[in-house]
């Protein structure tokens, strides 16, 4: 089986993201990694959707889980009529695709493709399970290969042996950027903002960086100005959960305030990812409000008195005025020029 995850850190090897096998989907629980290495095991596609909603996997992890979840859905109805299987798969695609609203446009591309592949397999009297699993692997290979181009393009904007600051967990771009740097002998230094409330930067991004041998430092989210002023940050970079055509991007809450500081300290901010064809402006971006309990406690331990309230907007929006460039598979674009991205032929990503 062809795989594009060679040389990637533990977290980004396919089986350690989400994996379908023998009527089950195993998803690495990123909420507790690396304190514990534990997998959530799902036996129905609804359990996969719930795992995605509960942030068992984050960043690009849900895209993999979505495909594997569709293979599981096909397994659930493997003994039904073709009509029943197709109806079930269509409903499963909606359930999984809308598990998290901010990225539903991307997730439904994945589940929609899985549905079509499953339909074609059934029309040929072939296994929809096998076909959907294979298309999920193909999608992974495609995304990893495309993001490898993005990572290598971004690396050219970072000084040799330079220092970068990351926000949250950029998943594939983190792995491909650092893999490329390692191949080129470029000893980057990586500062990871911890990313409250789930600490994805501290737990996930830093794990990938140190796995590949890079000098890695975690900072709390309120240390960014100090670090930019005193530690010589050359580039601030993050992925984006949404990149609208007008240059507004949505990413983990806190990204916008780091972008403000980067602008103040003359640190370039490069966003990585593929622009969303169906997001035309800021108005098209939906910000997911999650359970405030996740802010008021951590791993079940309350941080406040019971009467204290909290809010948890999962993402914020950074305007194009604070973005130095959007690094894509086709090169680096001004955030004011993203419309031209769609004038060139686009490779299927999701």
What residues are annotated to the active site? 241
Name every residue whose Cβ is closer than 8 Å to that of residue 41 and which is 6 or more positions away in sequence. 24, 25, 26
CB contact at 8 A, 251 and 225: no
Name every residue whose Cβ is closer than 8 Å to that of residue 254 and which is 6 or more positions away in sequence. 167, 168, 193, 195, 196, 221, 316
HSE-CB of 67 using CA atoms within 13 angstroms: 27
Residue 209 bridge partners (DSSP): none
Output the CA–CA distances (angstroms, integers) from residue 253 to 73, 195, 243, 315, in the order listed.
Answer: 32, 8, 15, 4
Alpha helix segments (H runs only) across the chain: 45-53, 61-76, 82-97, 104-123, 128-155, 172-183, 200, 206-211, 224-230, 255-264, 293-296
Residue 313 bridge partners (DSSP): 289
Nearest CA among 57, 83, 87 for reference residue 73:
87
The three-state secondary structure class of 302 is strand
Q: Which two tokens stand for residue 177?
A: 């950027």
């Amino acid at each position: 089986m062809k795989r594009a995850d060679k040389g990637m850190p533990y977290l980004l090897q396919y089986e350690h993201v989400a994996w379908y096998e023998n009527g089950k989907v195993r998803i690495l629980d990123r909420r507790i990694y690396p304190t514990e290495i534990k997998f959530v095991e799902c036996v129905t596609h609804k359990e996969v959707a719930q795992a995605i909603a509960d942030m068992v996997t984050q960043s690009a992890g849900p895209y993999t889980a979505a495909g594997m979840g569709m293979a599981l859905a096909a397994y659930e109805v493997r003994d039904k009529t073709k009509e029943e299987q197709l109806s079930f798969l269509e409903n499963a695609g909606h359930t999984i695709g809308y598990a998290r609203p901010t990225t539903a446009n991307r997730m439904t591309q994945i589940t929609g493709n899985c549905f079509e592949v499953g339909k074609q397999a059934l029309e040929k009297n072939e296994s929809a399970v096998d076909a959907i699993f294979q298309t999920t692997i193909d999608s992974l290979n495609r995304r990893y290969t495309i993001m490898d181009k993005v990572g290598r393009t971004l690396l050219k904007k970072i000084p040799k042996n330079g220092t970068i600051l990351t926000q949250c967990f950029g998943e594939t771009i983190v792995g491909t950027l650092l893999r490329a740097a390692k191949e080129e002998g470029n000893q980057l230094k990586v500062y990871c903002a911890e990313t409250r409330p789930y600490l994805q930067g501290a737990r996930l991004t830093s794990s990938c960086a140190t796995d590949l041998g890079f000098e890695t430092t975690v900072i709390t989210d309120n240390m960014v100005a100090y670090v930019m002023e005193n530690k010589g940050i050359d580039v601030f970079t993050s992925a984006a959960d949404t990149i609208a055509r007008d240059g507004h991007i949505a990413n983990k809450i806190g990204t916008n305030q780091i972008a403000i500081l980067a602008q103040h300290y003359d640190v370039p901010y490069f966003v990585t990812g593929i622009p969303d064809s169906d997001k035309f402006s800021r108005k098209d971006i939906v910000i997911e409000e999650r359970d405030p309990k996740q802010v008021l406690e951590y791993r079940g331990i309350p941080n406040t008195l019971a009467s204290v309230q909290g809010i948890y907007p999962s993402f914020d929006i950074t305007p194009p005025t604070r973005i130095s460039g959007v690094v894509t598979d086709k090169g680096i674009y001004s955030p004011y020029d993203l419309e031209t991205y769609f004038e060139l032929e686009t490779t299927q990503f999701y």
